Amino acid sequence: MSVKRKLNTQYPILNTNKMSTGNMNLTLKVWRQKNNKTKGQLVDYKVADISPDMSFLEMFDVLNENLINKGEEPIVFDHDCREGICGMCSMFINGRPHGPKEGITTCQLHMRSFKDGDTIVVEPWRAKAFPVIKDLTVDRSAFDRVIAAGGFISVNTGNAQDANNLPIPKAQADAAFEAAACIGCGACVATCKNASAMLFVSAKISQLALLPQGQPERYKRVQGMVAQMDAEGFGNCTNTGACEAECPKGISLENIARMNRDFYAAKFISEEEG
Amino acid sequence: MSALNSNIPEGELTSKWTKYKSSVALVNPSNKRSLEVIVVGSGLAGASAAATLAEMGYKVKCFCFQDSPRRAHSIAAQGGINAAKNYQNDGDSTYRLFYDTIKGGDYRAREANVHRLAEVSANIIDQCVAQGVPLAREYGGLLDNRSFGGTQVQRTFYAAGQTGQQLLLGAYSALERQIGMGKVEMFTRHEMLEVVKIDGKARGIIARNLITGELERHFGHAVVLGTGGYGNVFFLSTNAMGSNVTAAWKANKQGAFFANPCYTQIHPTCIPVSGDHQSKLTLMSESLRNDGRIWVPKKKDDTRKASEIPEDERDYYLERRYPAFGNLVPRDVASRAAKERCDAGYGVGASKLAVYLDFKANTERYGRIEAAKAGNHNPDQETCMRLGTEVIKEKYGNLFDMYKQITGEDPYETPMRIYPAVHYTMGGLWVDYNLMTTVPGLYCTGEANFSDHGANRLGASALMQGLADGYFVLPYTIGAYLSKEISVKAIPTDHPAFVEAEQSVRDTLNKLINIKGTKSVDHFHKKLGLIMWEKCGMARNATGLKSAIAEIQQLKKDFWADVRVPGDVNEYNPELEKAGRVADFIELGELMCIDALNRNESCGGHFREEYQTEDGEALRDDENYAYVAAWENKGDGTFELHKEELKFENIKIAQRSYK
Amino acid sequence: MGSIANAFSSSIGKKLIMGITGLFLISFLVVHCFLNAFVFFDNTGVLFNEGAHFMATNWIIRAMEVVLMAGLLLHIVQGARLTFQNQAARPEKYAYNNGNANSKWYSRSMGLLGTLLLMFLIVHLSDFWVVSRFTGIEQFNGGTPLDAAGHEDLYAVMHAKFSQPWRVVLYVLAMISLAYHLLHGFASAFQTLGWNHKKYTPIIKTLGVWFSIIVPLLFALMPIAIYFGWSF
């Protein structure tokens, strides 16, 4: 494509290879599964000339482009924002959710975290509550249903009091924010040996339990959300701490303890029936 | 040419909205229960509208293409949300927010809409706090604010660098509450592919279930599009991979005019492109410009490392050119200034297409303050930097980590390299004061409409507009329309209009999959992106735009002749989804160039090289172009221009100056 | 009452039972370990037998024995249920899972460690409890069940049992299992009870580590000491 540089607005990509020519060659073992009804398997793929500056998903883009050019079906995987905040990307890479680096999502993983010649195994999140849709894509709508069961403050739009009428100590607001940083990616479920969703559920319960606005529905909320979590078929927490270690947003196990406390208070102390 | 009636209420600017609210027709509760509203999109504008409409009693169906409404790209907004609260006692007011927004938009926005936006801005903060959104607070427990570009007050509320996430999760939880109560029916992994019109009114949509590939017909007394912006027309942008124009474009084809498509915002602080594998660009929040100073070397083609360039050989060009606003000039100004320096050969980094964003001076300053707090009034440099780094970490930690992750460089040690990237699109479906498009019953909210930002959006105003539309504006204004629809029974979806719409969608999908060409969808998307960036990007000129139009027309032919979409129509097929979106982007790209060519002036995000002042600032032509360009799609790639004259009765129109 | 009943059928309620019974069993270990330690202070066995006698005749202790058995049973049954349920929560396993990257193997192996301990308990109970209660001590003590002080001579039974090397090895292995079971279980129980506190959790964790080392070590030392005839 020849474009005159008259406008002097260079687009540093797409038409030049000068910036990063990759030299990594990798073997991928990727889970392929046509749909929910068929059985899947790991399939081997080779990718060549990968740049260490690529993100893991961009490496998959390259692989998919190759597959399309060869007339094969590309690998389906969830992804959207590609900056670590939407929570959509979800690959189980070399036995770990979001791959070998801590505190990041799959889309933030870069190829410089691997070595030339590596073999990389890529699987979908696996849990009964997260059925595979296709290849590496799973259905995480169970999380939405858990939120719908109480992960909110019942306040209709309009006529809220002035925001500063409700001072909240900074430490408390910060703690609520830390719990609220959860992106709902499901890495906690994926890595937990029990496929338990307690880190996710407790993060939302904690956020609202830490704030004065969340108090009126505190006990109702914890009972509703835990009941829905159980109904979805997630496993039970056995405190291995894998979820906390793998959470891209550093959500703490303290939240699970807080949820447990609230749950006991709701069931054994509160006079409200849940 | 139909008359473009913006339906702005009569009366004083400051009382228009209040009067409107008290006089707009209402729908009684029992009638609301039988009125159905379709909301497409679940971002700030969509989720807040769906939740609020359901709270009011309407029957709502909400659609998103992601796997959960919580994934909408509003989630990625980092810096903050503006509101005229004047909590900082720095002289802020509704009028100032209104004024800053009009001026920031380079006098190309509608006064009445912007004033309404400023009026409801304060309610948004109240509403979000009531929902449990953990906005940042000071030690006294009150809400904290920061500054953003284009303003001289601190009115930006934030939650670390994740404000969009927190606000979206607030709207999402309100939406999930309604879903749990059965008042909203949610359709995730569904993409709207057509607006269904009956007797000229929007009466539903055709949506594709992305998992099964099935086409579904959904009826609604009204349809609301909160489907976001079209920045991905450039292939590379800060938008999410899935962000697309399809819903708005289908609406345009059904008669909803598309306004000001050429107004695109190029954000000045993004991580530069690292190679041709790049799939998207990552923003570094504008809030960084609070504490980062932007500079390039004074010497051309300087290859020294940043740390080796002494202070007096650095050109802090924003502070030099715009002493009043310095590093906090609006985005369009900052972006063009960066481009100007790089084009002139002063760029840094391997690509030479980057400038430095340097935190050292302010790190040291913060360190000195911290040391003083601890009683050390004469700290050494090292102590200052150590203590200051802690402060910077607290404020921007997640952004610095993100930068390091992507570039492999540590921004605590060396300055960040940044370069402008496509970020936001001010243009969108034309809507009147009620947020209704030119198709009766079809509404448009948030970034998808054109309404409030003129030719340039100020930082932290997108979240404000999305939530204003969804929580506080649309739920009222839609009543004006629905109150007249109470006698309309739900129309069965075997109505010929539905059948026909579904068939045309099916035909298009089959057509795409049956081309069986040789090039991938991304191949065409990248080509389009290149044309758009080079000829309709940060700077445009007539020659370039004309050739861009020709190139895009050719690209469109090539696409429909040679695209290869693997897989099947009746299955989960992301390539097919992409193909449909790129097909729409190609048509939109052409219209953007047509609009840019039509607008013989420079304003905000639209910079025509032929129209600039001596010192390179945008040169508006208020006499001839103080209008909204609304384009009617006549089919076959032809468009008819309709103008909505902009009247400035409360603000004196002037050359925008940040000097 | 409905909410109390359904509390225990929920995932958190089930865990609560594990935590409470676990802590209860830990408290039993303390008592048991304390009594065992008597052998290190008196190698005639009189002190040990006296302790055992007290344990066997005091009505509070006897009542607690029932509670202990119930607690143990509950811990086992609930543990088994949870293990099966948790396995069912992931019907299709990962082809490759690097669990060690984010958690300790023993925290992921509580079911296995527990099963080993259960097998050990069967041997252990039939070694002593069954002998003392049902089959009779006299077979290990030259025809009389009593020691010089007139107490049941469990010490003699112990000597007889721990003269067999396989049993010593079995007991030591079991105590290693116990150590790992406790290493996770001790702190985990507090977390389950909701006791996670920035100030106290580190203390609990340290305490847990020391407890998991010292108590099983003391238990293991007994068969070893007896086998090798160490006298104190």
What residue has token string 């913006």?
B6
| β-strand partners of A120 | A28
Closest chain B residue to the Cα of A13, Cα to Cα? B276
Phi-psi region of B548 (alpha: psi -120 to 50; beta: other; left: phi over 0): alpha
pLDDT tens-digit map of C171-203: 999 999 999 999 999 999 999 999 999 999 999
Beta strands in chain C (DSSP E): none
With touching defined as 3+ CB pairs under 8 A, do chains B and A touch?
A: yes
Domains of chain B, start order: 268-420 (3.90.700.10), 496-645 (1.20.58.100)
| β-strand partners of B418 | B355
Output the CA torsion sign for B492, B176, A250, C8: negative
Residue C146 binned pLDDT confidence (cut-offs 50, 70, 90): confident
Output the CA torsion sign for C35, C38, C39, C40: positive
pLDDT at B576 over 70: yes
Query: Residues B261-287: what's their mean pLDDT?
Result: 92
Between A115-129, B396-410, B498-512, the lowest mean confidence (pLDDT) is in B396-410
pLDDT at B408 over 60: yes
Chain A residues in contact with C90 (beta carbon < 8 A): 126-128, 193-195, 235
The per-residue pLDDT for A274 is 58
d(CA B94, CA B12): 15
What residue has token string 């010292």?
C214
Query: Residues A83-92: what's their mean pLDDT?
Result: 96
pLDDT at A3 over 50: no
Identify which of A176, A174, A164, A243 has the alpha carbon closest to the alpha carbon of residue A211: A176
- Six-digit token string for C11: 């995932």
d(CA C122, CA C124): 5
Query: Residues B356-370: what's their mean pLDDT?
Result: 95
Interchain contact A59–C (C-beta under 8 A): no
Interchain contact B134–A (C-beta under 8 A): yes
- B456 in Cβ contact with B332 (< 8 Å): yes
At A224, the amino acid letter reads G
d(CA A63, CA A65): 5
| Mean per-residue pLDDT over chain A, rounded | 92
Between B152-166, B390-404, B462-476, the lowest mean confidence (pLDDT) is in B390-404
How many Å lie between the alpha carbon of C208 and the closest alpha carbon of chain A? 14
What residue has token string 């069961």?
A149
Interchain contact A38–C (C-beta under 8 A): no
Residue C56 binned pLDDT confidence (cut-offs 50, 70, 90): confident
- A86 in Cβ contact with B240 (< 8 Å): yes
Chain B residues in contact with A72 (beta carbon < 8 A): 566
pLDDT tens-digit map of B607-629: 999 999 988 889 999 999 999 99
To the query of whether residue B620 is one of the catalytic residues in this protein, the response is: no
- Six-digit token string for A10: 């260079």
pLDDT at C1 over 60: no
d(CA B659, CA B320): 9
- C196 to A257: CB separation less than 8 angstroms, yes or no: yes
The per-residue pLDDT for B596 is 98
Residue A17 binned pLDDT confidence (cut-offs 50, 70, 90): very low
pLDDT at A15 over 80: no
Identify which of B606, B523, B573 has the alpha carbon closest to the alpha carbon of residue B211: B573
> What are residue B415's phi and psi, to 5 degrees?
-65, 150
Among B191-195, B339-343, B456-460, the range with the most confident prediction by mean pLDDT is: B191-195
What ipTM is given for this predicted complex?
A: 0.94
What residue has token string 């100030």?
C199
How large a percentage of chain A has pLDDT more than 90? 89
What CA–CA distances, in Å, run from B382 to B309, B312, B385, B387?
19, 22, 5, 9
Residue B572 binned pLDDT confidence (cut-offs 50, 70, 90): very high
The per-residue pLDDT for C6 is 84
Give me Rg for the CA atoms of chain A. Answer: 22
- B296 in Cβ contact with B317 (< 8 Å): yes
Domain layout of chain A by residue ranges: 24-127, 140-156+166-269
In CATH terms, the fold of domain A140-156+166-269 is Fumarate Reductase Iron-sulfur Protein; Chain B, domain 2 (1.10.1060)
Q: Report the length, in residues, of chain A.
A: 274
The per-residue pLDDT for B141 is 96
At A251, the amino acid letter reads I
What CA–CA distances, in Å, run from B544 to B532, B587, B616, B621?
10, 17, 19, 21
A41-50 and A24-32 beta bridge pairing: antiparallel
- B256 in Cβ contact with B75 (< 8 Å): no
Closest chain B residue to the Cα of A65, Cα to Cα? B520
Output the CA torsion sign for B327, B331, B334, B339: positive
**DSSP letter assigned to residue A236:** -
> What are residue C47's phi and psi, to 5 degrees?
-60, -45
| β-strand partners of B225 | B40, B444
H helices present in B327-446, as ranges = 331-343, 360-373, 381-407
pLDDT at B156 over 50: yes
- C96 to A259: CB separation less than 8 angstroms, yes or no: no
- A13 in Cβ contact with B278 (< 8 Å): yes
- B139 to A170: CB separation less than 8 angstroms, yes or no: yes
How many Å lie between the alpha carbon of C16 and the closest alpha carbon of chain A? 9
Residue C5 binned pLDDT confidence (cut-offs 50, 70, 90): confident
The per-residue pLDDT for B652 is 92
How many Å lie between the alpha carbon of C1 and the closest alpha carbon of chain A? 8
B293-297 and B355-358 beta bridge pairing: antiparallel
- B278 to A169: CB separation less than 8 angstroms, yes or no: no
The per-residue pLDDT for A10 is 45
The H-or-E segment that residue C31 falls in is helix C11-36
- Six-digit token string for B361: 């001076």
Chain A residues in contact with B272 (beta carbon < 8 A): 12
> What are residue B372's phi and psi, to 5 degrees?
-60, -40
The per-residue pLDDT for B79 is 84
At B422, the amino acid letter reads V
What CA–CA distances, in Å, run from A67 to A29, B210, B568?
15, 21, 16
- B162 in Cβ contact with B77 (< 8 Å): no
Interchain contact B22–A (C-beta under 8 A): no
Helix B574-598 to helix B521-536 angle (10° resolution) is 20
What residue has token string 């900052």?
B334
| Mean per-residue pLDDT over chain C, rounded | 92
Between A221-230, A234-243, B335-344, the lowest mean confidence (pLDDT) is in B335-344
SS3 B88: coil
How large a percentage of chain B has pLDDT more than 90? 91
> DSSP labels for B461-494?
-HHHHHHIIIIIIHHHHHHHHHTT-TTPPPPPTT
Interchain contact C101–A (C-beta under 8 A): yes
d(CA B252, CA B244): 14
Helix A254-264 to helix A198-209 angle (10° resolution) is 70
Among the partner-chain residues A126, A268, A272, the one whose CB lies closest to the CB of C4 is A268
B293-297 and A41-50 beta bridge pairing: unpaired
CB atoms within 10 A of CB A235: 26
How many Å lie between the alpha carbon of A224 and the closest alpha carbon of chain C? 11
CB atoms within 10 A of CB B307: 10
- Six-digit token string for A172: 């408390």
The per-residue pLDDT for A6 is 38
How many Å lie between the alpha carbon of B8 and the closest alpha carbon of chain A? 23
pLDDT at A14 over 90: no
The per-residue pLDDT for A2 is 36
* Contact residues for B9 (Cβ-Cβ < 8 A; gap 6+): B16, B17, B19, B20, B112, B433
**Which residue is catalytic, options B116, B331, B608, B620?**
B331
At C94, the amino acid letter reads Y
Domains of chain C, start order: 2-89+107-228 (1.20.1300.10)
Question: Higher pLDDT residue, B236 or B394?
Answer: B236
The per-residue pLDDT for B314 is 96
| Mean per-residue pLDDT over chain B, rounded | 95
Residue B2 binned pLDDT confidence (cut-offs 50, 70, 90): low
pLDDT tens-digit map of B410-466: 999 999 999 999 999 999 999 999 999 999 999 999 999 998 999 999 999 999 999
* Contact residues for B83 (Cβ-Cβ < 8 A; gap 6+): B97, B121, B122, B124, B125, B155, B157, B464
The per-residue pLDDT for B388 is 95
Between A233-242, B256-265, B569-578, C135-144, the lowest mean confidence (pLDDT) is in C135-144
d(CA B425, CA B422): 8
pLDDT at B316 over 80: yes
* Contact residues for B454 (Cβ-Cβ < 8 A; gap 6+): B101, B102, B104, B105, B106, B107, B108, B109, B263, B426, B603, B604
The per-residue pLDDT for B3 is 59
The per-residue pLDDT for A19 is 42
- B349 in Cβ contact with B301 (< 8 Å): no
At B100, the amino acid letter reads D
- A235 in Cβ contact with A229 (< 8 Å): no
- B75 in Cβ contact with A85 (< 8 Å): yes
Residue C2 binned pLDDT confidence (cut-offs 50, 70, 90): low
Phi-psi region of A255 (alpha: psi -120 to 50; beta: other; left: phi over 0): alpha
The H-or-E segment that residue C201 falls in is helix C201-228
Residue A1 binned pLDDT confidence (cut-offs 50, 70, 90): very low
Q: Order of strands across the sheet with A92-93?
A: A41-50, A24-32, A119-123, A92-93, A96-97
B215-219 and B201-209 beta bridge pairing: antiparallel
Between A233-237, B221-225, B333-337, the lowest mean confidence (pLDDT) is in B333-337
**DSSP letter assigned to residue A111:** G
On whether the A24-127 domain is CATH 3.40.50.300, my answer is no
- Six-digit token string for B591: 């219209």
How large a percentage of chain A has pLDDT more than 70? 92
Chain B residues in contact with A61 (beta carbon < 8 A): 277, 279, 522
Identify which of B492, B80, B536 has the alpha carbon closest to the alpha carbon of residue B285: B80
The per-residue pLDDT for A5 is 35
- C117 in Cβ contact with C145 (< 8 Å): no
